[in-house]
Amino acid sequence: MSVEANSTPVPREAAPRRRADVAASVQRLALALAVPVVLAIGWELVVRAGWSDGRLMPPPSRIWQEFEDLSRNGELLRHTLATLARVAVGFGLGTAAGTILGALAGYSSLTRRLIDPTLQGLRAVPSIAWIPLFILWLGIFETSKVALIAVGVFFPVYLGVMAAILSVDRKIVEVGRAFRLSGFAMVRRILLPAVLPAYVVSLRAGLGLGWMFVIAAEFMGASEGLGYLLIDGQQLGKPAEIVAAILAFAVLGKVTDALVAITAAPFLRWEDAFGAQHGAA
């Protein structure tokens, strides 16, 4: 048997397709950065031209200098890791609780009638209203901060899972019953694929609220974290530090959201949706 017969032919279109994917990724990145880069350059020019002193809204050069100073003394890494750890733990707890209760409420009408009215009422409570209660219950240290973040993550995940299960096409379920699928097989082969796209959206929404809630959590007497940098910049009258912390929040939020989307992408390749054809992130 010849070597040529055993060799696997390489599709000729693979390399051009790869180059096209790289070019499309570069184009999306350039478009995503266009607005903030143009705004940053414009404001830098305004300050350098003397049209503004840049005291309350520092130009990008001063903000970059602030980043360098925080990085040089290790403060940026320390505060970033503290905030990331709080969001990670709170996101994990809130996602687990929201997924379990949302699945139970969506799958069982009795469970939904029992718990959904109460949870919908609690969802209307402002996040800051939980702070005094969590401090009394859990103290002022990490546990109360993580609990507040978990509350913020819980509700969008719970609502997303419950609504996704309730919106599953009845005809698909009837097909599963016609094939005599067991309960576990029905969930794995029918409900899970149908729910997964909406579940990913709810995870991303919950993560966004987690980043919002961590600021409120770090206002509760934190000695480290990006929220602490915001308070420190306000008290010391350092607008460059405040803007640097805000930008760090923005970058971390975008990166973690992209990680969720990238992690979920292999499980959604079957989806023939409009957004998949137009590079929705």
**pLDDT confidence band for 247 (50 / 70 / 90):** very high
Whether residue 47 sits in one domain with residue 72: no
Whether residue 226 sits in one domain with residue 191: yes
Whether residue 202 sits in one domain with residue 104: yes
Whether residue 197 sits in one domain with residue 77: yes
Residue 254: CB atoms within 10 A of its CB come to: 13
Q: Tell which wins on pLDDT, 123 or 190.
A: 123
CA 100 – CA 88 distance, rounded (Å) = 18
pLDDT tens track for 236-245: 888 999 999 9
The answer to whether the CB of 86 falls within 8 A of the CB of 214 is yes
Question: 246 Cβ partners below 8 Å, 6+ apart?
Answer: 230
Whether residue 63 sits in one domain with residue 26: no
Residue 266 lies in a domain: yes
User: Residue 158's closest CA among 190, 111, 194?
Assistant: 111
Q: Is pLDDT of 3 > 50? A: no
Look up residue 141 and give its DSSP letter: S
Residue 86 lies in a domain: yes
Full 3-state SS string of 146-166: HHHHHHHHHHHHHHHHHHHHH
Residue 281 lies in a domain: no
Whether residue 147 sits in one domain with residue 230: yes
Output the pTM of the full model: 0.82
**pLDDT confidence band for 1 (50 / 70 / 90):** very low
Whether residue 33 sits in one domain with residue 103: no
pLDDT tens track for 192-208: 777 888 899 999 999 99
CATH of the domain at 70: 1.10.3720.10
Whether residue 47 sits in one domain with residue 84: no
Whether residue 148 sits in one domain with residue 85: yes
Tokens 């005599």, residue located: 180
Residue 2 lies in a domain: no
Whether residue 148 sits in one domain with residue 29: no
Residue 126 lies in a domain: yes
Q: Tell which wins on pLDDT, 207 or 4.
A: 207
Tell me which H or E stretch contains 205. Answer: helix 192-218
Helix, strand, coil distribution of the chain in percent, nearest 5: 80, 0, 20
Question: What one-letter code names the amino acid at 222?
Answer: A
CA distance readout (Å), 187 to 40, 165, 176, 190, 193: 49, 10, 10, 6, 9
Which of 52, 69, 98 is the endpoint of a domain? 52
Give the mean model confidence (pLDDT) for residues 99-110.
Answer: 91
Whether residue 184 sits in one domain with residue 97: yes
Residue 208 lies in a domain: yes
Q: Is pLDDT of 81 > 70? A: yes
Q: Is 115 exposed, middle or buried (0-12, 13-18, 19+ CB in 10 A)?
A: middle
pLDDT of residue 267: 75
What is the widest separation between alpha-carbon atoms in the chain? 79
Give the mean model confidence (pLDDT) for residues 66-90.
Answer: 92
Residue 242 lies in a domain: yes
The domain total for the chain is 2
Tokens describing residue 31: 């478009």
Whether residue 115 sits in one domain with residue 223: yes
Query: Domain range for residue 24?
Result: 16-52
Which of 52, 79, 97 is the endpoint of a domain? 52
Tokens describing residue 135: 């401090």
Is residue 269 classed as helix, strand or coil in its secondary structure?
coil
The answer to whether the CB of 227 falls within 8 A of the CB of 218 is yes
CA distance readout (Å), 251 to 58, 90, 106: 19, 19, 34
Q: Tell which wins on pLDDT, 100 or 16.
A: 100
pLDDT of residue 244: 92
Residue 101 lies in a domain: yes
